């Protein structure tokens, strides 16, 4: 109510030019220019057979979409995108929840630990992947060195089809779980201590407190951060590209890397756009589905 009144006042003060509309316009125009128009252009391009080296693009209608359905690598990438996303986000959530509970417990120095944990998340991905690549190097890498000293066989972590996907997921978890930690920790800190104390007095065990007080309290932020990361991970390109470039063969190819390969290595711009449209459509569907599932179940409670 006060908010509404003040806006009217500002307008009445003879500064109508500075209505919210004008204040929002520059940012909106910019977003339109670098986001909405390119996105529309992607949809447009997806109806063409266009190679960057060919003279002129040929309109092919929805033919690219038909090609896509018969494209084996598209399905492989799709499946691996799903595996990469589910593996990463579930690992990030578990590790994030665990570490948040740990920080919540050990109260001293909480802010310092919190900041140190978040560090991998702010470091350029090229730096962290480079370090992991070095640690995982077959001969001189510290990890194989450690394994061999323990009497176990060394592994070709980023070259062996059997272990490459788990390795990539592991590194991605290492990089992203800190964000879960700080958000869940903030959620934990919002729980009133009185409630937990009352439960203790009533004789609730640690597990019961966790199950019936802590978990319900952090349900909302958990959903927010999980949905956000499913979206971000499904479209994530850098980590996989730096570590394996989708290889060996196609064992870590995901939709973003496949899209990039089509556009910037095969120069098949039309087909790459089709892939882009599909990927955005898949992410949008997942988002709407998750959002709806979460909020409708919340209402029914």
Partner 1 sequence: MRKIYWWLLLLLLMVFVLFPFYWMIVSSIKPTPDVLTLNPTLIPKRVTFEHYGFSWYQMNLGRFFGNSFAIAIGTTFLALLLTTPASYALSRIPRGRNLALLVFLLSYIIPPVALLTPLYFVMTKLRLVDTYLAVVLSHATFGIPFCLWLQTTYFDGIPVELDEAACTDGASFLQTMRYVILPVALPGLVVSGLFVFILSWDEFLFAYTFTSSDASRTITAGLFQFIGANIVQWGDLMASATLTTVPIGIIFFLIQKWLIEGLTAGAVKG
Among positions 73, 94, 116, 195, the unique one binding partner 1 when judged by CB under 8 A: 116
Task: Give the nearest distance from C-beta 242 to partner 1 in angstroms.
Answer: 7
| Cα separation, 221 vs 174, whole angstroms | 20
Nearest distance from C-beta of residue 185 to partner 1, angstroms: 8
Of 121, 115, 124, 122, the C-alpha closest to 185 is 115
Q: Show the CA angle centred on residue 57, arms to residues 55 and 60, nearest 5°.
A: 145
Told to check if 103 binds partner 1 by CB under 8 A, we report yes
Q: What angle do CA 254, 65, 42 make, to 5 degrees?
A: 75
Site stretch for partner 1 (CB under 8 A), options 66-74, 86-94, 115-123, 194-202: 115-123
Separation CA 99–CA 89 (nearest Å): 15
Nearest distance from residue 183's CB to partner 1, in Å?
5
What is the footprint of partner 1 within residues 47-66 (CB under 8 A)? none
Question: Per-residue contact track with partner 1, 242 to 281, x per CB under 8 A?
Answer: x-------------x--xx--xx----x--xx--x--xx-
The burial class, CB within 10 Å (0-12 / 13-18 / 19+), for 199 is middle
4 binds partner 1 (CB under 8 A): yes
Q: What angle do CA 251, 171, 285 make, to 5 degrees?
A: 65
- Binding-site member from 49, 57, 83, 113 for partner 1 (CB under 8 A): 113
Helix (H, G, I), strand (E, B) or coil at 80: helix
Interface segment toward partner 1; rule CB under 8 A; list 55-63, 64-72, 161-169, 178-186: 178-186
| 41 part of the interface to partner 1, by CB under 8 A | yes
In the bound state with partner 1, the residue whose beta carbon lies nearer, of 93 and 242, is: 242
Q: At its nearest, how many Å lie between partner 1 and the CB of residue 32?
A: 11
Distance CA 279, CA 273 (A): 10
- At residue 107, φ and ψ (nearest 5 deg) are -70, -35
Figure out which of the listed residues 158, 183, 214, 226 binds partner 1, where binding follows CB under 8 A. 183
* Residue among 301, 105, 116 at smallest CA distance from 220: 301
* Binding-site member from 13, 151, 153, 203 for partner 1 (CB under 8 A): 13
Among 67, 137, 156, 163, binds partner 1 (CB under 8 A): 137
CA 76 from centre of chain: 20
Residue 213 · residue 206 · CB < 8 Å: no
169 near partner 1 (CB under 8 A): no
**Using rule CB under 8 A, residue 42 touches partner 1:** yes
């Amino acid at each position: 109510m006060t908010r509404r009144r003040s806006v009217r006042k500002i307008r009445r003060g003879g500064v109508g030019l500075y209505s919210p509309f004008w204040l929002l316009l520059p940012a909106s125009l910019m977003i339109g220019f670098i986001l909405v128009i390119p996105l529309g252009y992607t949809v447009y391009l997806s109806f063409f057979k266009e190679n960057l080296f060919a003279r002129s693009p040929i309109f092919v209608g929805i033919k690219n979409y038909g090609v896509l359905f018969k494209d084996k690598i598209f399905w492989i990438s799709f499946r691996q995108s799903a595996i990469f996303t589910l593996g990463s986000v579930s690992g990030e959530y578990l590790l994030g929840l665990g570490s948040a509970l740990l920080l919540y417990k050990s109260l001293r120095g909480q802010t310092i630990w919190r900041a140190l944990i978040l560090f991998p998340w702010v470091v350029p991905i090229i730096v962290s992947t480079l370090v992991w690549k070095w640690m995982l190097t077959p001969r001189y890498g510290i990890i194989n060195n450690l394994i061999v000293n323990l009497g176990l066989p060394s592994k070709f972590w980023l070259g062996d089809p059997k272990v490459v996907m788990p390795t990539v997921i592991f590194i991605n978890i290492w990089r992203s779980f800190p964000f879960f930690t700080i958000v869940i920790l903030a959620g934990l800190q919002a729980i009133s201590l009185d409630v937990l104390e009352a439960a203790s007095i009533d004789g609730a065990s640690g597990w019961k407190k966790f199950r019936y007080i802590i978990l319900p309290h952090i349900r909302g932020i958990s959903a927010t951060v999980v949905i956000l990361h499913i979206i971000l991970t499904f479209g994530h390109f850098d980590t996989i590209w730096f570590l394996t470039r989708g290889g060996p063969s196609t064992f870590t190819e995901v939709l973003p890397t496949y899209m990039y390969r089509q556009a910037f290595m095969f120069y098949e711009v039309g087909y790459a756009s089709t892939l882009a449209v599909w990927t955005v459509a898949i992410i949008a569907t997942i988002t709407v589905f998750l959002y709806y599932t979460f909020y409708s179940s919340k209402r029914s409670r």
